Amino acid sequence: MEGPVPRLLSISIISALAVFLAGAWLLHDGVSARDLLHLQIEIVAGAALLSVGVVSSVLLLRDWIKWKRELAKYRES
């Protein structure tokens, strides 16, 4: 890949993956918790982080596909 867009995209992918994994870990850890309040907090936080990770991954994929199409058009002309 070339240019500033893929570099920014790779940093964004890493951060989206980190948020996604943190959410999955919190959900997994929250389900196995014994304390009810602790369980609710970890499940809500895990679900929020998991959803942010999924949404940001989808948006990144959409932007990457758009960038690849524009790059192909630019190379053709």
Crossing angle of helices 36-76 and 4-31, rounded to 10°: 160
> 45 burial class (0-12, 13-18, 19+ CB within 10 angstroms)?
middle
Model's pTM, two decimal places? Answer: 0.72
Q: Where are the domains of the chain?
A: 14-76
* Two structure tokens written together for 12: 């964004």
Q: Express each pLDDT in 3-19 by its tens digit.
A: 556 677 778 888 888 99
Q: Express each pLDDT in 42-77 by its tens digit.
A: 888 888 988 898 998 888 888 888 888 988 898 887
